[in-house]
Amino acid sequence: MLAQSRLPSLLLLLPRLRSVAPGLATMSSATGTLTVQQPLNYRAGARVQPADGGQLEEVFEPATGRVLCKLPCSGEKEVDLAVQSAKAAFKIWSQMSGMERCRVMLEAARIIREQREEIATMETINNGKSIFEARVDIDISWQCLEYYAGLAGSLAGEHIQLPGGSFGYTRREPLGVCVGIGAWNYPFQIACWKSGPALACGNAMVYKPSPFTPVSVVRLAEIFTEAGVPKGLFNVVQGGAATGQLLCQHPDVAKISFTGSVPTGMKIMEMAAKGIKPVTLELGGKSPLIIFSDADLENAVKGALMANFLTQGEVCCNGTRVFVERKILDTFTKEVVKRTQKIKIGDPLLEDTRMGALINRPHLNRVQGFIKQAKEQGAEVLCGGDLYVPDDPKLKNGYYMRPCVLGNCKDDMTCVKEEIFGPVMAILPFDTEEEVLERANATKFGLAGGVFTRDIQKAHRVVAALKAGMCFINNYNVSPVELPFGGYKSSGFGRENGRAAIEYYSQLKTVCVEMGDVESAF
C-alpha cells in the first residue's frame, strides 16, 4: 500500500506535537500493557455495540503476540444502521458551504496534531511498526485533512457561453454515502486518505478497518465528532470479508474505496458492478527500482532500503525488484547488505527501533515461506530472512524477523514475480536501459517504480517508459498528500491524494440555461 511523506525531513518531525489531549484516558507507553477501549463500532456520534455482532475474532498485539481484544463482526443489521445514520448526516453536511466544511476539517486536523503521541502509540501497539514511523503516519494524516480542508471551499464547476446569450454551467456535487475499506499496514493514515477527500466534497462515510487493526480508526471517528461534523457522518463498522460484502452490496452506498489485495479488489469490483457503483482500488504491487551505474551510490543505497524495509516491508508500493547495473552490482550489494544488517529490530515503542513486528503469525509464516521457496529456486540469502527473538522476555512471542536481501535472483523466480509484503529485497543485475525497462514492465502489477541516475534526461526517459502510476526519480516511497497516488494494470485504478481524488468522490452535473424563446420543431 502506502509510503511515508516528506521522509527527508523525518528527523525534524519527531520532537514536535507530543501533547496528549486533556480528559483522555492515559495510555501506558510500555509494550504489552495497553487495554483497548471497547466497543469498537462507532455510529451516530458514539461508540456502540454492534446490533447483531456475530463471531468474536481475536486481535493480536504484533510485538508480544498477546490478545489485544476480541472483535465482534458486524452483521446486516449493524451495517444498515451505520449506512442509514450516515445517510441522515449527509443531508446536513452536503448542504453546508465549502468554507463551513473547511473549518470543521481544520479543527479535526488540529486535534490530531494535538493528540499525535497518543494516536501514534495506539497505532504502534496495534500494527507493530516502530513509533518512529507511526509518528510520521499521524503527521501525514493531519496534513491530509488540512490539504482537503483547503480544497473544500474551492470546489467549483465552469461556465460555458452558448449562442444567443444562453449559457451552461457545471456543478460538482457529492455522491452520498461512501464506503471506505482500509488495510492493516497504515490504519489511521489510510482512513484519513479516504475520508479527507470524501468529506471535503460533502459526502458521508462508513469505514471498515482491517480486522487485524481495528483500534485507531475509532479514535478518528471521535475526533471528527469533536471537530463538529454532524453525528453519523463518519461511522465505523468492524468485521472481515462478510461485513465488507454487506457494505459493498448495500443499496444506499454510492461509492466504494478499497485498499488491499488484488483478489479482494476483484471481488469488490464484481459487487460494485451489480449496483453500478464507482470504485477506487489501491491494490498490490511488485515495483521495480532501477539503479544505474552513474547514480549517487550513497543515495541509491538509502533509497533501496527505504523502498523495501519501511513498516517491516509491508508496503504495497515497495520497490522490491532492485535492478542494478552490472558494473556496480558488487559494490552496491555489499553496501546494502552491510546497512541492512545494522537495522535495529525489536520493541516498536523504543525510540531507536527501526523495524518492529510483522502483523501476525500467519503472515510471518507466509513471508518465511517465500524465502524458503526462493532458496529452493536458486536465490542466495545474502543476509537476514530468519526469525528474530528479542532479548526482552515479554517480546518472545512477537512476530519478528531479520530483514532479508536476496542475490542471484532471476526474473522467473516466485520471489521476483509475486508480492511478498515483507522485508525481502531481491537484487537483479542488468546491462542496458532497453533491457531493464522490458524486464521492469514484465509484471501484472503497475503501482510504482523508481530510478536512480545522475543523467536527468535518462531519468525522465525511464519513468516515461515505466508502466506504473507512481514513479520516483532519485528517491523512493515519498508520497506527499498533494500528489495523486494510484496504480496501473492489476494494481488498481482511481487516485487517492492530490486534487485528482476530488473527481472520484464527486459527480458532475451539467445545467443548460436558455435565455431566449424555445425553437421547436413541432
Dihedral sign, Cα of residue 45, residue 46, residue 52, residue 56 = positive
Exposed e or buried b per residue across 305-341, where buried means at least 16 C-beta atoms within 10 angstroms of its C-beta = bbbbbbbbbbbbbbbbbbbbbeebbeebbebbbebbe
Angle in degrees, 0-180, between the axes of helices 116-127 and 98-114, rounded to the nearest 10 = 70
Grid cell of 252 as nine digits: 444506499
Angle in degrees, 0-180, between the axes of helices 456-465 and 433-440, rounded to the nearest 10 = 30
Backbone angles phi, psi at 123, to 5 degrees: -65, -45
Distance in angstroms (rounded) separating the CA atoms of residues 132 and 291 = 27
Q: Which residues pair with 180 in a beta bridge?
A: 207, 257
Grid cell of 348 as nine digits: 516498536
- Which of 375, 402, 377 lies closest to 387, judged by CA? 402
Determine the residue type at 238.
Q
**Which among 282, 314, 335, 433 is annotated as catalytic?**
282
Q: Is 263 exposed, middle or buried (0-12, 13-18, 19+ CB in 10 A)?
A: exposed
Asked if residues 346 and 395 have their Cβ atoms less than 8 Å apart, the reply is: yes
Distance in angstroms (rounded) separating the CA atoms of residues 386 and 340 = 13
Distance in angstroms (rounded) separating the CA atoms of residues 134 and 32 = 17
Placement of cell 526517459 in the chain: 461
Grid cell of 69 as nine digits: 481484544
Q: Which residues pair with 498 in a beta bridge?
A: none
What lies within 8 Å, CB to CB, of 390 at 6+ separation is 345, 346, 347, 396, 398, 400
Grid cell of 464 as nine digits: 516515461
Active site (annotated) includes residue 380? no
Catalytic residues: 282
